[in-house]
Chain A
């Protein structure tokens, strides 16, 4: 469809392009997430003291945030499109084992191992997407099946091939530099990959015309289909992206720690969903933002790392997270309602 831009500027009574007032801010999907991030930061800055605020402290939660964030952003996009992906944990484990087995155990060049691991991620994601769109089985079930199936496959094959469940890897200097080094001795290079993902995916979702499709698919699948959007294609692409994100983190972990274990990554299944939901994405789809997911990821990692700086028993971190999830979702609901009921400056009639 071609849309000509010659049309005269909209004539009557169009609201002036408003700046960022407080009201506008309150109507954005990430407002609740921003409040959450600032609150937990201030909380741990007070109780965690100078150690938490030092570069080392920042590195500890940024490193966690980076790995989680690379997975959470595509998972968030998928959730905006109305689907869940629980399989990321097993995809992470299988990709990290793949690079370790191909390049460590079999001794192939590390680039071959990396490509194999990433391809594996793409294939699993594509299959997830295909299964969900073709069978109509809810993605919760399909990806739960993938989570277990792939985890068993990884464990089984690892034992058959290597005889163990943990494989060492010598990635060599180049791969190390690109994917597994610590910048300034503290900050994982993954942080920069995370930033790259934020920029690219943020652009795709919020500025490219394609992003509109993602919101439409999550908002109302049937209406989206009647407008001619390839609903299935969009979903398959998003499932593929989410598994790819998990595969990238799997590779990063293998190269960073010079080894891979079959049990890697299972914590990412729920952590990614927590980060996305705290970030203001609606679980049922149609609403959310990349900035929100980033803030949700930061909130999660500040809580999970900040607890170590308070001197309290770290057992309590999960309790804080639980309370936080509930509070964040309630707050996000409130802000979403405000956005929905918003009508610009007008007199109320009768």
Chain B
């Protein structure tokens, strides 16, 4: 068995008296897409916050490449190659693509007091990296990020993470605010990142999206791991039911059906 890139062992998290996560054990392998599914409030956000160093587990441990690690801050996690991309890309709408790509790691030219931001280099690399993810519409690094579409912004954020050496990408609902075409594009980008050997944790409640790209699925219900299975082991309906909390969905459908029948009478 290959050592996983990142492994959670019996992780629990509680805020005061509220248990948010109980006994979560998960493995993330390089070049694999792990889909984290679950309804709102199931604990998905808390789990990715633990992965990205925002929260620390109350009990249990995290291992990176087989060694126990503690992420005290998002920075700790990022030094282990973990990068989180939020729903809106976490980019700066009024900055140019080149500038926002290199925020915090500005490339410079010239020396001493005249050390200056290398605009051409920054713009060129940003555009090149985005194009390598299939965003061919973007050709000018001096454009403002706010002029990009939602999918392009996601691509910019993912390209940035990949360029700065991310080994594990955590994508928090990347397709939630996107149209059908744009969402498909983001899924393609996820596959491209996967092909580069990057591990992806995809958080979503969009079962179709998850089934398109996922290799490995974990379903959270009320803070516990309700199911953990590989691609092809469950059907779409089973997953939807699981997410909605077991039988609830079928019952709901039956109930709705009875209403429509009543209406027809």
Contact string, A124-158, partner B, CB cutoff 8 A, digits 1/0? 00000000000000000000000000000000000
How many angstroms between the C-alpha atoms of A343 and B136 in the bound complex? 13
Task: Please tell me if the beta carbons of A220 and B124 are within 8 angstroms of each other in the complex.
Answer: no
Q: Determine if B236 is an interface residue (Cβ-Cβ < 8 Å).
A: no
How many angstroms between the C-alpha atoms of A251 and B187 in the bound complex? 61
Given contacts A1-B164, A3-B105, A10-B128, contact A219 B92 (CB under 8 A): yes
How many angstroms between the C-alpha atoms of A211 and B164 in the bound complex? 21
For residue B109, which residues in chain A have a CB less than 8 angstroms away from its CB? Answer: 5
Task: Please tell me if the beta carbons of A340 and B95 are within 8 angstroms of each other in the complex.
Answer: no
Q: Determine if A22 is an interface residue (Cβ-Cβ < 8 Å).
A: no
Task: Please tell me if the beta carbons of B115 and A5 are within 8 angstroms of each other in the complex.
Answer: no
Q: Determine if B106 is an interface residue (Cβ-Cβ < 8 Å).
A: yes
Task: Please tell me if the beta carbons of B116 and A340 are within 8 angstroms of each other in the complex.
Answer: no
Task: Please tell me if the beta carbons of B117 and A209 are within 8 angstroms of each other in the complex.
Answer: yes
Task: Please tell me if the beta carbons of B140 and A340 are within 8 angstroms of each other in the complex.
Answer: no
For residue B131, which residues in chain A have a CB less than 8 angstroms away from its CB? Answer: 11-13
Task: Please tell me if the beta carbons of B125 and A10 are within 8 angstroms of each other in the complex.
Answer: yes
Binds A, one of B33-41, B96-104, B227-235, B244-252: B96-104
Q: Determine if B60 is an interface residue (Cβ-Cβ < 8 Å).
A: no
Least CB distance, A76 to chain B, in whole angstroms: 15
Task: Please tell me if the beta carbons of A212 and B117 are within 8 angstroms of each other in the complex.
Answer: yes
Task: Please tell me if the beta carbons of A344 and B143 are within 8 angstroms of each other in the complex.
Answer: yes
Least CB distance, A334 to chain B, in whole angstroms: 15
Q: Which residue of chain B has the shortest Cβ distance to A216 in the bound complex?
A: B103
Contact string, A1-44, partner B, CB cutoff 8 A, digits 1/0? 10101010111111101000000000000000000000000000
Task: Please tell me if the beta carbons of A212 and B139 are within 8 angstroms of each other in the complex.
Answer: no
- The interface size of chain B toward A, counting residues with CB under 8 Å, comes to 41
Q: Determine if A341 is an interface residue (Cβ-Cβ < 8 Å).
A: yes
Task: Please tell me if the beta carbons of A212 and B99 are within 8 angstroms of each other in the complex.
Answer: yes
How many angstroms between the C-alpha atoms of A13 and B127 in the bound complex? 9
Task: Please tell me if the beta carbons of B92 and A341 are within 8 angstroms of each other in the complex.
Answer: no
Contact string, B74-94, partner A, CB cutoff 8 A, digits 1/0? 110010000010000011111
How many angstroms between the C-alpha atoms of A344 and B75 in the bound complex? 36
Interface centre among A5, A203, A227, A282 (most CB of B within 10 A): A227
Task: Please tell me if the beta carbons of A212 and B136 are within 8 angstroms of each other in the complex.
Answer: no
Given contacts A215-B99, A226-B74, contact A10 B105 (CB under 8 A): no
Q: Determine if B111 is an interface residue (Cβ-Cβ < 8 Å).
A: no
Least CB distance, A236 to chain B, in whole angstroms: 18
How many angstroms between the C-alpha atoms of A228 and B77 in the bound complex? 12
Task: Please tell me if the beta carbons of B140 and A344 are within 8 angstroms of each other in the complex.
Answer: yes
For residue A343, which residues in chain B have a CB less than 8 angstroms away from its CB? Answer: 137, 143, 147
Q: Determine if B108 is an interface residue (Cβ-Cβ < 8 Å).
A: yes
Q: Which residue of chain B has the shortest Cβ distance to A1 in the bound complex?
A: B105
- The interface size of chain A toward B, counting residues with CB under 8 Å, comes to 41
Task: Please tell me if the beta carbons of A7 and B117 are within 8 angstroms of each other in the complex.
Answer: no
Given contacts A1-B105, A15-B139, A207-B116, contact A228 B75 (CB under 8 A): yes
Least CB distance, A18 to chain B, in whole angstroms: 8
Q: Determine if A323 is an interface residue (Cβ-Cβ < 8 Å).
A: no
How many angstroms between the C-alpha atoms of A216 and B136 in the bound complex? 26
For residue A215, which residues in chain B have a CB less than 8 angstroms away from its CB? Answer: 92, 94-95, 99
For residue A212, which residues in chain B have a CB less than 8 angstroms away from its CB? Answer: 95, 99, 102-103, 106, 117
- Residues of chain A in range 293-350 having any CB-CB distance to chain B below 8 Å: 336, 339-344, 346
Q: Determine if A292 is an interface residue (Cβ-Cβ < 8 Å).
A: no
Task: Please tell me if the beta carbons of A340 and B105 are within 8 angstroms of each other in the complex.
Answer: no
18 more CB-based (< 8 A) A-B contacts, given A13-B131, A215-B92, A226-B84: A1-B105, A5-B118, A7-B125, A11-B131, A12-B131, A14-B139, A203-B116, A207-B116, A211-B117, A220-B91, A220-B92, A222-B90, A223-B90, A223-B92, A228-B104, A229-B104, A282-B94, A344-B140
List residues of chain A with CB under 8 Å of any chain B CB. Answer: 1, 3, 5, 7, 9-15, 17, 203, 207-209, 211-213, 215-216, 219-220, 222-224, 226-229, 282, 286-287, 336, 339-344, 346
List residues of chain B with CB under 8 Å of any chain A CB. Answer: 74-75, 78, 84, 90-95, 99-100, 102-109, 115-118, 120-121, 124-125, 127-128, 131, 136-137, 139-141, 143-144, 146-147, 164
Going nearest first, the 8 A-B pairs with the smallest beta carbon separation are: A227-B104, A219-B92, A209-B106, A1-B105, A10-B124, A10-B128, A15-B140, A287-B94
